Amino acid sequence: MFDDTLTDNANALLSLCRSKKIQITTAESCTGGLISALLTSVAGSSDVFERGFATYTNEAKSSCLGVPAKLIQQYGAVSADVAKAMAKGALLNSDGILSLSVTGIAGPGGGTTTKPVGLVFIGSCLEGHKVIAQKHLFHGDRSSIRTQSVECGIALLLSQAQTY
């Protein structure tokens, strides 16, 4: 299902988090749970992976993660502000120490001139640290954009876990 590099990166992340006693929570929109699936495809991940939220609709982002509807209206679901709110909400609604959020436009439709297909924001919240968001513009088809989002999400989690 996942290529060897992605699986190796997931293994490295889980090992690091295991050694530091970090629990991970995800909040995914355009990836629809792919990051959760990758992490849980590794045997023994249950001691690190706390839970995952697949919040595809705006209503789910608000009801499951506490993202204010006004924030979504003001900036749009695909924005750094919403990615940050999703990451923070994932921690607040779980027992996690480290969270990752992904919101974007995987296509093939849904893009605009200001928010094109491939625009993805990846957020992260590490307990006791500032909430961050990264902006990416990926290219390719829907599957490729989602895969690139997973790769960058795992890389961000690794980077965050190293600072804990």
- In the three-class reduction of DSSP (H, G, I as helix; E, B as strand; rest coil), residue 118 is classed as coil
pLDDT of the residue at 92: 97
At residue 2, the pLDDT reads: 85
CB contact at 8 A, 70 and 49: no
What is the structure's pLDDT at 66? 98
pLDDT in tens, the chain (164 residues): 789 999 999 999 999 999 999 999 999 999 999 999 999 999 999 999 999 999 999 999 999 999 999 999 999 999 999 999 999 999 999 999 999 999 999 999 999 999 999 999 999 999 999 999 999 999 999 999 999 999 999 999 999 999 99
For residue 10, give the 3-state DSSP assignment. helix
Domain ranges of the chain: 23-162
- In 3-state terms, what secondary structure has residue 89? helix
Fold of the 23-162 domain: Maf protein (3.90.950)
- Residue 30 confidence (pLDDT): 98
